[in-house]
Amino acid sequence: MQKHVVIIGGGVGGIATAYNLRKLDKNLKITIVSNKPYFGFTPAFPHLALGWRKFEDITVPLAPLLPKFNIDFINESAESIDPENNKLKLKSGTEVEYDYLVIATGPKLVFGAEGQEENSSSVCTAEHAIETQKKLEEFYRNPGPVVIGAIPGVSCFGPAYEFAFMLNYELVKRNIRHKVPITYITSEPYIGHLGLGGVGPSRRMMEDLFAEKDIKYVTNVKVTKIEKDKVVYEDLDGNTYEEPASFTMFMPRFQGPDVVASAGDKVANPMNKMVIVNRCFQNPTYKNIYGVGVVTAIPPVEKTPVPTGAPKTGQMIEGMAMAVALNIVNDIHNSPDRYAPTLAAICIADMGKEAAGFVANPVIPPRAWVKTKKAGWVHYLKTAFEKYFLWKVKRGDIAPWFEEKALELFLHIKPVEPCKECEGTPGSRC
């Protein structure tokens, strides 16, 4: 009997899982459910916000693409999950039955500081980036102080750093940088923490970069209010400060979307509504439910004075997708083999003509290998990877063999590894 795998989400995690499943098993019925009609290359959203990319440059329509690879596509919001009866309810009321469910929705954005959603900008979605671009065009005509950063609980700091550096470069190009003081305010305990406890000398690198580009920074504080002309924050002693701002961009906190919460506390983490998974990214209670991407509940790398979360970068998400696809197919074919992603973080912060790159393998210390690099070629590497990834999406193969070999050879990263602890033995870590 043909098995049906339903994937909620058409982003990196959803597409990667679908393509890996199709490569592993030609007979599977695969359906992607997404409220967006396109795949968007998330790392390029800051570039879209600055007008360095057009929407059509970094997106791929899914309706004409997925049927080429025998993957069904439903362009509709998923409303609720019934894990007991293996059913997914859509916004229209239609119910979709599944044998396996992969939750790859991405996060729900939580604008936790008062006034953040109304008064601040974001680069977390293509739509937000387009709105940010409009605000910036108005700002360039009447420049003033800029404040960029992250509120308490944020897990993805890379885009905030990148946006600060890229905006600095754009202001220099427009010959108005001298009119724009830039301040970076963050919940991180120090600059360059990145939600990773730092990556090698990332603290020293970021301190040098901020000094070189004349960007002031404030760390270890809670942003409590974002108004049209200022940002209010508190230090650990409860003292309140204000920073004037004509333009702001703050990263929101991530939590699981409502469709995940609908599945109950055995699927959704009670604290943040993210998908509860084991090391193989399988839900421990409902064995036919898996999580991939930002929506998975991964604990912070370390406890910090102001709460921070662990980022889930593109490389991590591709590893999750590969492991989940292998585990689903092995389960269908009664194989005991199970796989877990390596979860190594690769992050590149663009700065215009140069970029800063960080590699942490694995994400959770102690690490076997770390690398940091700032250079012009890193900028071009990120641009090349953007085009390469979109090419992968269009051709229906998210993990070409040569990419896996290159990762292992140059960065000592294996996307997935066998997980002996996930074979169903009592008391296993999974």
Measured CA angle at 289 (ends 413, 291), to 5 deg: 40
Q: Buried b / exposed e across 179-200, counting CB within 10 Å, b at 16+?
A: ebbbbbbbbbbebbbbbbbbbb
Q: Alpha carbon 24 to chain centroid distance?
A: 25
* Rg of the chain over all Cα atoms, to the nearest angstrom: 21
Distance CA 268, CA 277 (A): 9
Range name among 171-185, 273-287, 316-330, 413-427 with the lowest pLDDT average: 413-427
Q: How many C-beta atoms surround the C-beta of residue 40 within 10 A? A: 21
pLDDT-above-90 percentage for the chain: 90
Helix (H) / strand (E) containing 306: none
pLDDT band of residue 414 (cuts 50, 70, 90) is confident
12-24 and 314-332 helices cross at what angle (nearest 10)? 40
pLDDT reported for residue 59: 98
Distance CA 353, CA 344 (A): 26
Return the bridge partners of 82, or none.
Answer: 87
Whether the predicted pLDDT of 112 surpasses 70: yes
Residue range 272-323, pLDDT digits in tens = 999 999 999 999 999 999 999 999 999 899 999 999 999 999 999 999 999 9
Range name among 15-19, 88-92, 113-117, 369-373 with the lowest pLDDT average: 369-373
Whether the predicted pLDDT of 5 surpasses 70: yes
Residues 254 and 294 sit within 8 Å (Cβ to Cβ): yes
Q: Is 51 helix (H, G, I), strand (E, B) or coil?
A: coil
Distances (CA, A) of 1 to 98, 286, 332, 336: 13, 21, 10, 20
- Mean residue pLDDT across the chain: 95
Residue range 213-271, pLDDT digits in tens = 999 999 999 999 999 999 999 999 999 999 999 999 999 999 999 999 999 999 999 99
Distance CA 97, CA 25 (A): 19
Distance CA 227, CA 236 (A): 21
Q: How many C-beta atoms surround the C-beta of residue 269 within 10 A? A: 18
pLDDT reported for residue 406: 85
Exactly one of 156, 280, 422, 430 is catalytic; name it. Answer: 156
pLDDT reported for residue 422: 65
pLDDT reported for residue 116: 98
Whether the predicted pLDDT of 78 surpasses 60: yes
Distance CA 107, CA 125 (A): 11
Residues 21 and 325 sit within 8 Å (Cβ to Cβ): yes
Active site residue 347: yes
Range name among 3-12, 309-318, 353-362, 401-410 with the lowest pLDDT average: 401-410
pLDDT reported for residue 423: 53
pLDDT reported for residue 364: 85
Global confidence as pTM? 0.96
Exactly one of 124, 347, 419, 430 is catalytic; name it. Answer: 347
pLDDT reported for residue 426: 34
The amino acid occupying position 77 is: S
Q: Buried b / exposed e across 100-132, counting CB within 10 Å, b at 16+?
A: bbbbbbbbbbbbbbebbeebbbbbbbbebbeeb
Q: How many C-beta atoms surround the C-beta of residue 313 within 10 A? A: 24
The sign of the CA dihedral 228, 122, 348, 343 is: positive
Distance CA 88, CA 31 (A): 12
pLDDT reported for residue 429: 41
Q: What is the mean pLDDT of residues 104-124?
A: 97
pLDDT reported for residue 409: 84
Residues 309 and 190 sit within 8 Å (Cβ to Cβ): no
Alpha carbons within 13 A on the beta-carbon side of 386 = 21
pLDDT reported for residue 424: 47
Q: Where are the beta strands (DSSP E) in 12-137?
A: 29-34, 38-40, 59-61, 71-75, 78-82, 87-90, 95-97, 100-103, 108-110
